[in-house]
Amino acid sequence: MALDATSLGQFMISRPLVAATLAGGLLGEPGLGIQIGAILELFYLSEMPSGGFRVPELGPASVVAVALASTTGGPAGVVIGITAGLLVSELGGLTVEAQRRLNMTVTASVEATRVNELRLVCAHLLAMSLDFVRGGIVTLVGISVGTQVIGIVADRWTLSSESTMAIVVVAASIHLGALLRRFGGWRARQTVFLVGLIAGIIGTYL
């Protein structure tokens, strides 16, 4: 999942909806994976790993979210999973930034010597290997820390599934509303937005 973001392919399997669904399938909870992935997509629909600026890392975060949600179960599991996913995505973004600086060091060491095809291939493979290890560490740390706090949160979460999902969807929708600015703002797209909002609400209750 970490490699797909920028290092290899960019086949979009690191997007939350795909990554969480795959993780849910491996854990025997495909429905939960789709649910978690869809919610995380609402938070991160505007985030694309392009250019050199730092963005949250979505693939490992989605795996952590589904793993913790499936471990806990119920509405508390959804809250724990989504919260952990959001936190891990920010942590992953910080580690990506650190790795970019490390990649610059690797590139500088190659440029300091005679550049040939073999050296370039080795530098690329080294950077990809570091990205793979980094993503694995982020995932393991997220799951390990998350499992330590599951009991604390799960025992204290008393809201029903309906109330929990309402809170989560509203929070995600607020973030999603920022996309309006990219499509001309509220005045230019208010009709389309309202139609989509009404259709989404109706679809939720059908």
Structure tokens at 77: 């599991």
DSSP secondary structure letter of residue 53: S
Structure tokens at 147: 């499992």
Which pLDDT tens digit goes with each residue over 62-110? 999 999 988 887 788 888 888 889 899 888 888 888 888 888 888 887 7
Which pLDDT tens digit goes with each residue over 27-38? 988 888 998 998
pLDDT for 2 equals: 59
Give the Cα separation of 120 and 77 in Å (integer).
Answer: 45
pLDDT for 105 equals: 85
Closest CA to 27 of 95, 73, 61: 73
Tell whether pTM > 0.85.
no
Q: Which residues of the chain have pLDDT under 50?
A: none
Q: CA distances (Å), 142 to each of 18, 137, 158, 183, 204, in order?
A: 19, 8, 24, 34, 31
pLDDT for 66 equals: 93
Structure tokens at 34: 């789709």
Q: Where are the domains of the chain?
A: 2-158, 159-206
